[in-house]
Amino acid sequence: MNMELWKQGAEAKIYKTNFYGRPCIVKERFTKSYRHPSLDKSLTAHRVKSEVRAMLRCRMNGIITPTVYFVNMDSSCIYMEEVQDSVTVKDYIKNVQGSKDLAEAIETLKPLAQAIGNTLGIMHKQNIVHGDLTTSNMLLQGKPSDCKLYLIDFGLSFFENMSEDKGVDLYVLERALLSTHPNTEELFNKVLEAYCKSNDTGSKEVVGKLEEVRMRGRKRTMVG
């Protein structure tokens, strides 16, 4: 199989290839030499399984994730649909912020914030906790007026109905958003608003937990 290395992260290499004629991404988790070999093996296998399981569970519930084509546990590879002509939410926000003034940028990004909140609300309602919600782990495909939001990178995900875990999930996103993109407080509020609408049963408790986690975060920085 002809595979071309496309991206290299801390934990995984991303290759482009095709799978029976379909554009395909191969995500290969590689060995970490500083970890004990057998621990490394089981941790890697756990990540691959968590990722595939969560992607399937999401798709069964109407959350858009790349289709999984094939999994090779021996080489720790996931073969999945390539989301073609997509940009990460990170690059999209950077582009919008770089080309418009502040108020205009926020107006432009509001539908995206709503889509993110809506998707995460559905995901948490199904007790899927993502574990690494950042703007690099979301892809946008299509025109801004009519686009699809894909969630990816579920290696740290787990299945849990505790509000605390969901609150931490949102906190990770809030930190990622505010630290990568300036002036996005209002957008995160939009995310939360949409989240509460789509996750009508449990969202109050989750937002309560989010506030607790924020307080703990602040205390930690004050202590140093």
Ligand X SMILES: Nc1ncnc2c1ncn2[C@@H]1O[C@H](COP(=O)(O)OP(=O)(O)OP(=O)(O)O)[C@@H](O)[C@H]1O
Which residues ranging from 153 to 182 are in contact with ligand X (CB under 6 A)?
Answer: 153, 155
- Taking the complex as a whole, how short is the minimal distance between the CB of residue 172 and ligand X, in angstroms? 12
Q: Which is nearer to Mg ion, 90 or 124 (CB)?
A: 90
Phi, psi of 79 (to 5 degrees): -100, 120
Residues 16, 3: contact at Cβ < 8 Å?
yes
Would you say how long the chain is, in residues?
224
Which residues ranging from 94 to 123 are in contact with ligand X (CB under 6 A)?
Answer: none
R_g of the chain computed on alpha carbons: 18
Calpha distance 130→155 (Å, rounded): 8
Q: Which is nearer to ligand X, 88 or 127 (CB)?
A: 88
- Taking the complex as a whole, how short is the minimal distance between the CB of residue 13 and ligand X, in angstroms? 8
Residues 54, 157: contact at Cβ < 8 Å?
yes
**Given 76, 97, 137, 184, the residue binding Mg ion (CB under 5 A):** 137
- Taking the complex as a whole, how short is the minimal distance between the CB of residue 118 and ligand X, in angstroms? 21
- Taking the complex as a whole, how short is the minimal distance between the CB of residue 219 and ligand X, in angstroms? 28
Q: Check binding of 131 to ligand X (CB under 6 A).
A: no
Q: Reply yes or no on whether 132 is catalytic.
A: yes
CB atoms within 10 A of CB 59: 14
Residues 14, 26: contact at Cβ < 8 Å?
yes
Q: Check binding of 60 to ligand X (CB under 6 A).
A: no
Going from the C-alpha of 44 to that of each of 29, 91, 196, the distances in angstroms are 7, 28, 34
- Scanning the structure block, which residue is given the tokens 């432009």? 108
Q: Check binding of 49 to ligand X (CB under 6 A).
A: no
Active site residues: 132
Chain residues binding Mg ion by CB under 5 A are: 137, 153
Chain residues binding ligand X by CB under 6 A are: 7, 9-12, 14, 25, 27, 66, 80-83, 86, 88, 132, 136-137, 139, 152-153, 155
